[in-house]
Chain A
Amino acid sequence: MTSVALSYRNSAFQDKLRRNWSAYLANIVLALPLVLGSLIMFLPLVWAVSFSFGQPHEFFTLPPPVIPSSFRLDNYHGVFERVDFLRFFLNSVFVTACVTIAQLITCSMGGYAFARLRFPGKRIIFILFLASMMVPQHVTLIPVFIIIRGMGLYNNLGALIVPYATSVFGTFLLKQFFETIPDELEDASKIDGAGFLQIYWRIMLPLAGPPLATLAILTFNSSWNNFFWPLIFINSADKMTLPLGMIYLRGQDGVTNSGVLMAAIVLNLIPVLVFFLIFQRRLVEGVTLSGLKGA
C-alpha cells in the first residue's frame, strides 16, 4: 500500500521534472533565434560606433576592426571642422521644443472642448478633423509650400514649427482622455463660479499628465526625426536641423562613407538613445495605446 503511494508520488514528481525540463528546453529553443535576431538590431549601431573611432587606412584593412585599434577623436573633430554641428543640434532642439510645447497646449485645449463643451457644429468639425488624418501630406504639399512662402517663413525655422503647432492626432488623444473624467469634478467648480478657462487650467490639465506625457514623447520623436519638411523649406546651413544637416555634411569633401560620417551618426544616436532609455516605458505605452501617427 505504502509502496504504491510512494511510487505514484515518485512518478508524478518525475513527470513534473520532465515537464519542467521540456518547458525549459522549449524556452531556449524559442529564445535562441529571437536573441540572434536582436543582435542584428544592435550590430549596425556597434559597428557605427567602432568605425567612428577608426582611421581612414583601417577601412581597407581586413578584417575590419570591431573594436577600434585606438580611440582617437579625429573623426569627431572632422565633423566639427566641416559643419556647424552644434548649430544643427540647437536648431533641432529649438524646433522640437516649440512644436512639442505648442502641441501640448493646442491639443489639450481642443481635446477639452471636444470632450466637455457643447457648441454648434462640434460633431461635424470633429469628423472633418478625423478625416484629415487619412489624407497623405503630399496632397497638401504644394499649396502648403505656397502658403508658407506667403507667410515669409521660407528658409526660416518657423516653417518647421507653425504647420506642426497642433495635431489632429493629439487632439483626439486628449479628447479620449478628458471624456473619462467624471462630471462631478467639473460640476463642483462650476457651482463655485469657475469659468471654462479655469476649469481647463485648474482641473483638466493637472489630471492629464499621463496622456500629455505620451503626446509629448511621440511629438518629440517625430519632430526630431522630421526630414521631408526641412528638405523643402530650408536651404541655408545655419537653419538646418540634424537630419538635413547630416545630408549637408555628407555633401562636404571626403565625407561620403567615411569615419567622419560615422562620427556624426554616433553624435546623432547619443541623444536619441538617451531619450529612449529615459522614456522607454511611456514611448512603448504611447505607441501601443494609440496605434500611431506617421508609421
Chain B
Amino acid sequence: MSVQSPKKQEAAILARQATASWNWANSLRAREAIAGYFFILPTLLSFLVFFLIPTISGLGMSLFDWDFFSDPDYVGLENFIELSQDKLFLTTLKNTALFAIFATAGNVGLGMFIAIGINSIKWGWLRAYLRTAYFIPFVISTVVVALMFGFLLQESTGVVNYYLSRLGIHRIPWLSSSAWAFRSIVLIDVWKHIGFFTLIFLAGLQAIPSELYEAALVDGAGRRVRLTRITIPLLTPSLFFSLIIALIGAFQVFESMYVLTNGGPGDATRTVVMYLFREAFGSFNMGYAASMAVLLFFIILTLTVTQVRLGDRWVFYR
C-alpha cells in the first residue's frame, strides 16, 4: 500500500463512497421498479385480458359479420348502416333514452329533495331512520326486486291494485299495458335506487359549512332564500355527479326489464342491452351485437362529455 497524503486519502474515500451510493441507489431504484411491476401484475393482467384486448377486439368485431361458428366476414360499416335502418333497434334506443330521462329525473330529482328534507329535520333519530329506510332497497338484488313487484303489481289479484281500488282508483294494468309497463319499470327503478342518490346528496349537504347559514340568518334571510341561495347552489357538485352516474347506469339498463316484462308487451320495454343480449346469445349475430355495444358506448361517451362541458356553466365550485 502506497503512502498517500491525508488530503488524497480523503478524496479517494469520498469518491469510493460516491460510487457505492450511486450503485446502491441504482440497484434500489431497479428493485423498486421490479417490485412495482410485481405488485400491479394481477391488476395489469386482468386489465389486459378482460379489458384492453376485449375492447379492441369488440371495436373490431363491429366491422364484421360473424355468426360465432363460421369465419367472420369483413363488412366495414355495414352493421352500423343496418342499425340505422333497423326499426327494432330504433325502438329499443327510444325506450332506453326515455327510460334514462325519466329514471334519472326521478332518482336524482326526488333524491335531492328527500335529502334536503331529511337534512332539515331536527331530530337525529328520525334522520337516521329515514336514511336507513330509503337506502334499504339499494342492497337488494334487482332480480329479487323485480320478482317481488311482479307479484304485487298483478292486475286482478295484486295487492297494490286492491288497495288502490279501496281508494276509488280503478285497477291499473301495471304490467300488461305498454304505457303502464314502461312507467312501472321506471317506478321500480326509482324505488330501488333513490336511496343511493339521497346518500350522495346528504353527503353534499353535510359538506356545506354552517357558518354560511348563520351569516344568512344574521342578514335576515328566510327559509326560501337560504334554500335557493345557499343550499341548492352548494349542492350543484353533487347534482352534477349524480346526473352523470345516473345517466351512465340508465343507458345500460337490462335486468328489471329482462325479469319483469321480457321487453313486452310487444317491444314497449325492450332496451338496447336486451336487444344486444338477444342478438349475441340468442341469434349469434356477434358482429351486429358488437356494433350495438359500440354505438351505445359512443352515446354514453358523448352524453358524459357534453355534461362535463356544460357542467362548467352551472356547477358551483367553492
Per the 8 Å Cβ criterion, residues 256-273 of B in contact with A are 258-259, 273
Per the 8 Å Cβ criterion, residues 182-238 of A in contact with B are 195-197, 200, 221, 224-225, 227-228, 231-232
CB of B55 closer than 8 Å to a CB of A: yes
CB pair A106–B43 under 8 Å, yes or no, is yes
CB of A5 closer than 8 Å to a CB of B: no
Which of A48, A129, A147, A275 contacts B139 (CB under 8 A)?
A: A275
Q: Mark A121-160, 1 if CB is under 8 A from B, else 0.
A: 0100100110010111111111111010000000000000
CB of B304 closer than 8 Å to a CB of A: yes
CB of B191 closer than 8 Å to a CB of A: yes
Q: Which residue of B lies closest to A257 (CB)?
A: B151
Q: State the main secondary structure of chain B at its contact with A.
A: helix
Q: Which residue of A lies closest to B36 (CB)?
A: A119
Q: Give CA–CA (A51, B157) in the complex, Å.
A: 12
Query: What A residues does B149 contact at CB under 8 A?
Result: 44
Q: State the main secondary structure of chain A at its contact with B.
A: helix
CB pair B142–A247 under 8 Å, yes or no, is no
CB pair A40–B191 under 8 Å, yes or no, is yes
CB of B12 closer than 8 Å to a CB of A: no
Q: Which residue of A lies closest to B250 (CB)?
A: A295
Given A114-B40, A246-B144, answer yes or no on A261-B151 (Cβ-Cβ < 8 Å): yes
Which of B134, B200, B251, B301 contacts A288 (CB under 8 A)?
A: B200
A-B contact count (CB 8 A): 255
Q: Give CA–CA (A118, B182) in the complex, Å.
A: 52
CB of A6 closer than 8 Å to a CB of B: no
CB pair A109–B40 under 8 Å, yes or no, is yes
Given A31-B126, A117-B36, answer yes or no on A138-B293 (Cβ-Cβ < 8 Å): yes
Q: Which residue of A lies closest to B290 (CB)?
A: A142
CB pair B199–A165 under 8 Å, yes or no, is no
Per the 8 Å Cβ criterion, residues 147-183 of A in contact with B are 147, 163, 165-166, 168, 171
- Given A171-B43, A257-B150, 16 new contacts (CB under 8 A): A31-B117, A34-B114, A35-B126, A38-B130, A40-B191, A41-B134, A110-B39, A113-B38, A118-B32, A119-B34, A128-B47, A141-B58, A143-B53, A147-B53, A288-B203, A295-B245
Sorted nearest first, the 3 A-B pairs with minimum C-beta distance are A119-B36, A113-B39, A143-B54
- Which residues in A have some Cβ–Cβ distance to B below 8 Å? 23, 27, 30-31, 33-35, 37-38, 40-42, 44-45, 47-48, 51, 59-60, 62-64, 105-107, 109-110, 112-114, 117-120, 122, 125, 128-129, 132, 134-145, 147, 163, 165-166, 168, 171, 195-197, 200, 221, 224-225, 227-228, 231-232, 242-244, 246-247, 250, 257, 261-262, 265, 268-269, 272-273, 275-276, 280, 283-284, 287-288, 291-292, 294-295
